[in-house]
Amino acid sequence: MKAKLTVVLYGVTLLVLSACIQAPRTVKKEQHLDSKTANHEVHWSYSGETSPKHWAEIEKYSDCDGELQSPINIIHRSADSIKIGNKFEMFYTPNTFLSEVKNDGHSIKFAFESGDSIRYKNDIYYLKQIHFHEPAEHKINGLIYPIEMHLVHQSKSGRFTVLGILGEEGAESDLFEFFQSFLPLENGETKDIDEQIDLSYLQLDKKTYYTYKGSLTTPPCSESVHWVVFKEPFILSVEEVLTLKSNMPINNYRIEQPLNGRVVKYNF
Ligand SMILES: [Zn+2]
């Protein structure tokens, strides 16, 4: 099944835009469509009978029941500490264009035109999209942060590296003020932005982070995602957290998944 899914995933490279993507699900539906299932598709969600614990049954061709799933609880003292082990390089520029923002019913997603990229494990990954989960999906030492931002990067061959940044409540964040200037958005609504944004000032490559091999945290839960989760949270205000929360489904997070022998690396 994994081989088949990999083929599907590579086949839809251009459609795949995020860790919360819907495109592969749609393509999968077309490829497995028959008269019996055509009108009976159940859409995954974060609550009730289509909540994360049912994803594997709802999304039969997904990897949601795989062995290398995300998110995880990162235990710092169990992490393998490596000095500049999986170092990644950032090529974030001050004049990247933010093209649009969308509320797709799962999260608020900001889409980017080409500009920002990173080099990780000898491949270049392009920033495609930023979205949010509330509360956070990854935990550090069991601690649940109020919010998590995912910076989804994709290589030309369709592979993913996702940067996860946990948010902690404190002072206002200029970045979030900017993001929130485009809200609110109705479910299903998209707004064009076409404004420049400078994420280079975050200097993420100067921070310490954890790396591990995981998956998209939403169906199709595709594996072979490089995860980079920063140890230090960014600070945003309570009001900013609440604004994001009011624009997304309640509790749009997946619970922690078993490590299954995976080793998390701490890069400092
Ligand atoms: Zn995500």
At residue 259, the pLDDT reads 97
Instruction: Judge whether 66 and 2 are in contact, CB under 8 Å.
Output: yes
Average pLDDT over residues 54-66: 94
At residue 215, the pLDDT reads 98
Q: How confident is the model at residue 29 (pLDDT cuts 50, 70, 90)?
A: very low
Average pLDDT over residues 58-70: 95
Query: How many whole angstroms from 107 Cα to the centroid of ligand 1?
Result: 8
Q: How confident is the model at residue 94 (pLDDT cuts 50, 70, 90)?
A: confident
Query: How many whole angstroms from 67 Cα to the centroid of ligand 1?
Result: 18
d(CA 160, CA 233): 22
Q: Which of 86-90, 172-176, 228-232 has the lowest mean pLDDT?
A: 86-90
**pLDDT tens-digit map of 147-197:** 999 999 999 999 999 999 999 999 999 999 999 999 999 999 999 999 999
Decide if pLDDT at 4 tops 80.
no
d(CA 102, CA 107): 8
Instruction: Judge whether 72 and 214 are in contact, CB under 8 Å.
Output: yes
CB within 8 Å of 201: residues ≥ 6 apart: none
Burial 227-237 (b: 16+ CB within 10 A, else e): bbbbbebbebe
d(CA 108, CA 135): 14
What is the average pLDDT score of the chain? 86
More confident residue, 34 or 233: 233
At residue 47, the pLDDT reads 93
Q: Which domains does the chain have, with CATH numbers?
A: 2-267 (3.10.200.10)
Q: What percent of the chain has pLDDT over 90?
A: 72
**pLDDT tens-digit map of 238-265:** 999 999 999 998 999 999 999 999 999 9
Within 10 angstroms of residue 14's Cβ, the number of other Cβ atoms is: 9
**The two structure tokens encoding residue 134:** 């509330």
Query: How many whole angstroms from 40 Cα to the centroid of ligand 1?
Result: 26
d(CA 256, CA 48): 18
Decide if pLDDT at 10 tops 60.
no
Q: How confident is the model at residue 12 (pLDDT cuts 50, 70, 90)?
A: very low
At residue 41, the pLDDT reads 57
Q: Where are the alpha helices (DSSP H) in 100-210?
A: 174-180
Query: How many whole angstroms from 30 Cα to the centroid of ligand 1?
Result: 24
pTM: 0.84
Average pLDDT over residues 206-225: 95
Query: How many whole angstroms from 28 Cα to the centroid of ligand 1?
Result: 20
More confident residue, 31 or 205: 205
Catalytic residues: 106
Q: How confident is the model at residue 35 (pLDDT cuts 50, 70, 90)?
A: very low
Q: How confident is the model at residue 86 (pLDDT cuts 50, 70, 90)?
A: low
